[in-house]
Amino acid sequence: MQCYLTDGRGLDTLRLADRPAPVDLADHEVLVRVQAVSLNYRDLLVADGRYGGPQDPPIIAGSDLAGVVAAVGRHVTSLKPGDRVVNAPFRCWPAGSLRRDWAATFVGGQGVDGVLAQSVVYPAAALGICPPKLTPSEAATLPVAALTAWAAVVTHGRTRPGEWVLVHGTGGVSLFAAQFARLAGARVALSSAHSSKADWARQELGIEHTFDYRDADWPRDLRRATGGGVDVVVEVAGGPSLHQSLQACRYGSRVAVIGVLAGTESQINVFDLIRHQISMRGIYMESTEEFHSMLSALASSQIRPIVDRVFPWSDVPAAYRYLQAQQHIGKVVVDVESGHIN
């Protein structure tokens, strides 16, 4: 079986390797023939050693798969061979609040093998049925990006019709958040430094308000445009962006802090939180229970994931570098099936 390994010492050390194909399954495990894997910003951090440091020994990279069940353990009743599945990003986080021992099962980092492989053994309880209308490349975008957006907008954001949701940029999480917000009947404001991306978001996703985050006055302007400020923030940038996002909030807003694209250090005015009674929560994906809720919502909606580009199995390092360049709209995906020998 082929797989891509990372040792956390840079993208140049990402390498294709051979490992024995999985054979024996525990009673509650499933063998999945992987069709596609999507990449996340976290995957760049893992490869660069900025997420858990060096991986010694090297681990299989990646955390998001779509595939087909090839075999099941003897006590598995929820799945059968031939089912199309996607994985929850934690091998064990069944429901409720995250626990320390469950956090250690997040795949593709901190010593835990990921899914950028031709075959993967996974707990049956941490797999979900792929929404029928989605292609493997589309479905592979759901585990981290879509679930994170769902947690921010639905689970903890509690977005209601008519509210304003603020998203930053046109990466996978932000675009899923915009789509979930629209599904909830909310209005969306989106920041981008690229006018072409902003135009695309208005035309393709029905975004009502876009602005350039390089304009220092954007929080004031956004408060005016939304009639007092936004109700929900999906904060993927961190750094100084968090302070500005808080200034764009109205009373009782909910802020989901997700990413560190602009840095891990942020100076905020605590009075902004107190005066406007803002709730702020860190988002680290969500449970398998919420994952299944999201999959059900997607199966009955018209939402389709935005896939920017699909790379062949032989060109995974190029896929990582393309993601690193941050010129994409939506998700970057690897076609694992192109590496299968039938």
342 pLDDT higher than 60: no
Q: Supply the pLDDT for residue 264.
A: 79
Determine the average pLDDT of the residues in 305-334: 96
Average pLDDT, the chain: 95
Average pLDDT over residues 274-292: 96
Higher-confidence position of 62 and 264? 62
Where is average pLDDT lowest: 118-122, 208-212, 335-339? 335-339
Rounded Cα distance, 180 and 270, in Å: 29
Same fold, 2-141+286-339 and 157-282: yes
Kindly state the average pLDDT of the residues 201-213.
95
Confidence at residue 265, expressed as pLDDT on a 0 to 100 scale: 78
Q: Taking residues 109-119, report their average pLDDT.
A: 97
pLDDT band for position 47 (50/70/90)? very high
By the 10 Å C-beta count (0-12 exposed, 13-18 middle, 19+ buried), 332 is classed as buried
Q: Which residues pair with 63 in a beta bridge?
A: none
Token pair of 320, please? 């990582």
Share of the chain above pLDDT 90, in %: 90
Q: Does domain 157-282 have CATH number 3.40.605.10?
A: no
* CATH code given to domain 2-141+286-339: 3.90.180.10
Supply the pTM of this predicted model: 0.95
Q: Give the C-alpha separation, 143 to 149, whole Å.
A: 10
| pLDDT tier, 238 (very low <50, low <70, confident <90, very high otherwise) | confident
| Domain ranges, ordered by start, for the chain | 2-141+286-339, 157-282
Cβ pair 310, 334 in contact under 8 A: yes
| Nearest-angstrom CA–CA distance, 171 and 10 | 22
Range 137-159 average pLDDT: 98
Residue 341: pLDDT band (50, 70, 90) is low
